[in-house]
Structure 1
Amino acid sequence: MSTSAPASIPAKAPAKSLHAIGLGAVGEWIMASTVNNLMMPIFTTGFGLNPVLVSWASTLPRLLDAITDPLVGHWSDNTRTRWGRRKPFLVAGGLGGAFMMVALWWCPLAWSHTSQFLYLFVVNLLFWFAFTLYTMPTYALVAELSLDFHDRTRVMMMRSIYCSLPTLGVGWVYWLTLRPIFGGEINGIRWTSAGLAVLVVFCALMPVLFVKERYATRHQEPQSFLRSLKSALANRQFQHAISIRLLVMLGAQIFNGLSFYLNTYYACGSDKMLATKILGISGTVHVLATFLALPLTPWIGRRFGKIGGLRLGAGLFALAAMLGWVLITPSAPYLQIGMALITGPAAGIFGTFMASFGADICDIDELNHGRRREGVFGAVTSFLTKVEASILALTVGYGLSFSGFSAALGMQDEYVLWKLRLFALLPYGCFTVLGLILAWHFPITQQLMTEVRAELDRNAAKNHGEPHPLV
């Protein structure tokens, strides 16, 4: 049975919903960045825990988290409550994630390192489960916000802008924990995280209070997890989209994983002070360039089509990979900042259009199967992205080993640096070009989605009354 939307909800996303979803993304980002960025330094330098133990306590929960993504997405798709399909998960995940983000740092100092490791592992596991409870239904809720082909780009653009805002303050959290008023970094992170948790709860509950679920009241027969997962993975448009995403991001992330070494030991001649200064400037330029490019995405989509926007984003990544051979040079170390002027807009444009097509894929799936599965599609994407990140960690490690790099040597041999450049830039270029080729043949066009929307509205008229307006 079709589950097309009721006519009481506007086809285009209301401004109130856009800002509420954006604030939810801010809360989501604060939770993840606080734990990801501070766990290693706080538990190694503050608690004195072995870095290897901290790494395992961080990695194992994330692997389990990747497995739970599709399960939570499917659970959300098939939940029916008086409050809707998604909102109960958002409340549980937002409150639970904020609480665990604070609890993580309250491990007793007097405990043995084994006990501290177990505490860190368990609380981190609970944190990432709560995070999944929030993020998977949120991704589905975002996909439901608009029925309009181009308005979906506006939705993703606004969410991306909100996600960019807190990145400007990421470097200041650790600095804040070291203020003398706290008497040490452990007390500092305990109270700083408590303040951040209040902000997280406020932001995380905004979608619950101000976003109306489009398909909350539609009846949908329960379907087994494996059958739902199989149907999603068999979707041809989804296969094409996820292949583009994985190729482009794998190339970019291999480069990002090795860029510190390329910058420090090749461009800056092992001068870490210069390298970290350039890294900081590049990071700021990247964020600002992304932020400035995002408002252009709706215009790009209408002027050149969403496929044109997707090609532009992938093409900018490929351009950055090619220019890296010239811009990253020991003769002019600061020249590599030019990479950020390209990769910033590339990330904003590519990510926005890639996410915008996700809602279109859900419409095609509904037409073919009569079901709304935003949760499963979002969760499978998240799962594959996390698997890719795990592969990336191994790839970067083997890349350093392949190059013959040794931190103990300080200055590296020229042949080592040549291999380091090769391993950082060649896969970057190859993977992004392959992604660009796939983007050039992406099958979802505006004409196709107009036909899909019209058919869904005809089905809605038969099953529920009046079709949903596209105005």
Structure 2
Amino acid sequence: MTTIKGAEETFAHRKIDRKTKFLYGLGYVAYGVKDNGFNYFLMLYYNQVLGLPAQLAALALLLTLISDAISDPLIGYISDNLRTKWGRRHPFMYAAALPVAISYFFLWNPLVSVETAGVDGLFLYMLGLSVVVRFFITLFEIPNTALVSEFTGDYDQRTSIMSYRYFFGWWGGLTVAWLAYSVFLTPTEADPSGMINEQGFRTYGLVASLMILGAVLISSLGTHQYIPILKQPPERRNLTVGQTLKELGQTLGNRSFLALFVSAVFFYIAIGFNNALYNYIQVYFWELQTLEIRWMTVAHFFSALLALVIAAKIAVGREKKHVAIAIGLIAVVVQPLPIILRLMGLFPANDSEILLPILIAHSAFEVTLWVLFGTMVSSMIADLVEDSQRRTKRRSEGLFFASRTFAMKVVSGIGISVTGMVLAGVGFPERTVPGQVDPEIIRDLGLAYVPIYVTFGVISMFVMLFYRISRSGHEDNLVHVDEPVDEQVPKV
């Protein structure tokens, strides 16, 4: 019989071994790979390679959010209340493995084209496959992420566990991105940038799908033995729709949750906007080739590793909220600096030998900040569980992380849609070769990017100030979580 390390320790102070953190964190590779494709390549692929107008590509991604609005909270709620011999989370995780990998493959290897199905046909294909991929990645991601709040209640251990998760999420996305820039999207005489290589994108889809499948299965199997010590759902109850909605309202009405949710709304608009423009900026603004962009990707591997090493250390003895806001504000200011300086005429020209090293160093620092920020915020979400349980007598890990995932996908989709509007607004051409775009259009793109990104980023950090769970407050919640509901418990 396998001995589960940490099982004999109390939940409040249970220490999780490195192997468990490794196997748990590995699951985020799936989301990292999927996110890398959706955020950096998908719109560019369907727009510049397959010929779908930018507005329609952005609209397809936005419309998938309608399904997310239903599936994300539903999966979270059902997962919190499911009773099976495999616990609350693992049945969903196993069920997602094959469907998400297969659908992701066909998203990048479309069975239709503009020539065979017309613009409308390609639009509907992109929309349909995007909905399927998002649903099944959610079916795995929400239950898998929720495990962090079930492994331990320790304030600092949760940060350490999430640092592994973010490390693997970034490494997964970076690995497939590096392969894309270095192997699949290689420059040719007809395509000096390498970014409009259709066969390269098709191969990218195959490799990415296999990575997703492997991550889902390894993380699911690797954490399976912990099912006996995970939290159990409440006794089965026959609730009416009205009672269910009332419970959802009680859970999601937590003030600290609302602060994080609204903060995430503004944050992921900024991130979705930035990510969708990333390759446009690299290829058309800086005029980099894929072999040059890959060196940024290599630098990001070290960024994620550095964040893994220091995340838990910088949080020890400090309030997670304060650390997250400080890191976030620095990142919001640092990220657009090269573009600002270029617009002011204070940055090296595109043919300068020092341009690439500067961009690599800047990108490495910026990504380190964002990995640290994501780790802190996810750990803050984990601490919501006991705060809510103390007031509602229900553990809602899945629902909280579902709401966060919903914000990530829905609002980043809005950011992507803003990108489509910006590209259309500045008159950015379709199927165009880098270096042949009107300089005024490139300048207008930079002028639009900076204020939109910074505004949403700063608002996000401000709203996070209203999160109220402190280190001492979390410890108090752990002590009193099983006591009868006290009307005098201060609202947080």
Task: Give me the TM-score of the superposition, normalised by structure 2.
Answer: 0.75
Q: CA deviation at 1:297?
A: 1.1
Contact 2:29 2:173 in 1 (8 A): no
Determine whether 1:312 maps to 2:341.
Answer: no
Structure 1's 106 and 298: CA in aligned 2 closer, same or farther, altered over 3 A? Answer: closer
Farther-moved stretch of structure 1 (77-86 vs 400-409)? 400-409
CA, structure 1 residues 19+193, in 2 after alignment: closer, same or farther (shift >3 Å)?
A: closer
Worse-superposed segment, 76-85 or 151-160? 76-85
Distance in 2 (alpha carbons) for counterparts of 1:82 and 1:420: 54
Deviation at 1:50, TM superposition (A): 5.4
From 375, 384, 387, the counterpart of 1:361? 384
SS at structure 2 position matched to 1:360: helix
Query: Deviations 1:192-232 (Å, cap 9, x if unpaired)?
Result: 57754662453243355243352126536465542233223
The secondary structure found in structure 1 opposite 2:15 is coil
Specify the alignment match of 1:145 in structure 2: 151
Q: CA deviation at 1:347?
A: 0.7
- Which ranges of 4 or more aligned residues in structure 1 deviate by more than 6 Å? 6-9, 34-46, 51-57, 105-111, 114-120, 174-179, 184-187
| Counterparts in 2 of 1:309 and 1:59: CA distance versus 1, 3 Å | same
Is the counterpart of residue 130 in structure 1 residue 136 in structure 2?
yes
Alignment-mate amino acid for residue 251 of structure 2:
A
Whole-angstrom distance in 1 between the partners of 2:40 and 2:140: 20
Structure 1's 196 and 173: CA in aligned 2 closer, same or farther, altered over 3 A? farther
- Contact persistence 1:237–1:444 (CA under 8 A): yes
The structure 2 residue matched to 1:75, chosen from 52, 74, 78, is 78
Q: For the structure 1 residues 108 and 174, does the alpha-carbon distance in structure 2 shift closer, same or farther, using more than 3 Å as the test?
A: farther
Letter in 1 for 2:86: W
Partner of 2:446: 421
Shift of the 394–55 alpha-carbon distance from structure 1 to 2, 3 Å rule, reads closer
Does the alignment pair 1:331 with 2:348? yes
- Of residues 160-169 and 425-434 in structure 1, the stretch that sits farther from structure 2 once superposed is 425-434
| 2:404 alignment partner, one of 381, 405, 428 | 381
Cα distance change on mapping 1:189 and 1:364 into 2, 3 Å: closer
Of the structure 1 ranges 433-442 and 383-392, higher mean CA displacement relative to structure 2 is found in: 433-442
Q: 1:193 to 1:361 in 2, by over 3 A?
A: closer
Unmatched tracts of structure 2, length 5 or more: 1-6, 187-198, 486-492
Q: 1:239 aligns with which of 258, 276, 291?
A: 258
Do residues 300 (structure 1) and 314 (structure 2) align? yes
2:101 is the alignment partner of 1:98: yes
CA 1:17 to 1:146, structure 2 compared with 1: closer, same or farther past 3 Å?
same
Could you tell me how far apart the structure 2 residues matched to 1:437 and 1:117 are?
38
Question: Which residue is equivalent to 1:215?
Answer: 231
Residue 64 of structure 1: which of 63, 67, 72 is its match?
67
Q: What TM-score comes out, normalization by structure 1 length?
A: 0.78
Question: Given the superposition, is the C-alpha separation of residues 227 and 312 from structure 1 closer, same or farther in structure 2, using an over 3 Å criterion?
Answer: same
Over the aligned positions, Cα root-mean-square deviation in angstroms equals 4.0
The match for 2:295 among 281, 305, 310 is 281
CA deviation map 1:320-366 (0-9, x unaligned): 15734237755355234443133212211110010001111111110
Question: Partner of 2:221 in structure 1?
Answer: 206
1:39 to partner: Cα distance: 6.4
TM-superposed CA distance for 1:455, in Å, is 0.6
CA distance in 1, matches of 2:304, 2:205: 32
Return 52-61 or 245-254, whichever deviates more: 52-61
Distance 2:172 2:308 in 1: 15
Paired residues of 2:259 and 2:466 also in contact (CA < 8 A): no
Q: Residue 450 in 1 paired to residue 475 in 2?
A: yes
Between Structure 1 and Structure 2, how many residues are aligned?
444
Given that 2:68 and 2:410 are in contact with CA atoms closer than 8 Å, whether structure 1 keeps it comes out as: no
Asked if the contact 1:306/1:353 (under 8 Å) is kept, the reply is yes
